[in-house]
Structure 1
Amino acid sequence: MTTNENYQYPLDETWTTAEIITVTHFYQLIEAANESTVAKADLLAAYRAFKMVVPAKSMEKQLSREFEAASGYSIYHTMQTAQTTTKARVRYRG
């Protein structure tokens, strides 16, 4: 697991370094979308890359639950906002 200032990111120890970087980048953008704003295109691209590492919906849900428990940020709700907004920048206010 990678450590943020206050918690650890949920990661799979079988992932390669590149995969860990990809997933960590996605988590960081989710945090940014909850704390300030991020470019919609960047967040959607990071999600597509995340899905290449985590193609199984069941694992995605498990990681999302672990991430939300640790950070307080919902990947699901943040991504719903990103996918439905017409704005160029995303901010989730959950």
Structure 2
Amino acid sequence: MVKDAVTPFHHDGHPVLTLRQLDRLNNVPKGTAFRAFKRARANLVEGRDFFVLDPERDAGRIAELKAAGLAYDSSHRVVLLTAAAYEVMRGAR
């Protein structure tokens, strides 16, 4: 899937990172990227800036991301973020 824990992978034709990958990339505690995502959410468009994997619809993909260490084991839904979303999140500090 990916070479390491902070390498983007493709979803729906877009290079993306998970919230866990962003926490690792920025060397911050678990949940930091999620809180930034929540602050920036009103300025992001689902399907363009981010994608949400649903546990019923995307169970296999979520399991794959968890097994690869790219999503937190406690996550039910997994948020995938594009570079554009990451830039908006960085500005929403």
Interval of TM-score (by shorter of Structure 1 and Structure 2): 0.3 to 0.5
- The structure carrying a bigger strand percent of its residues is 2
Q: TM-score, normalised by structure 1?
A: 0.40
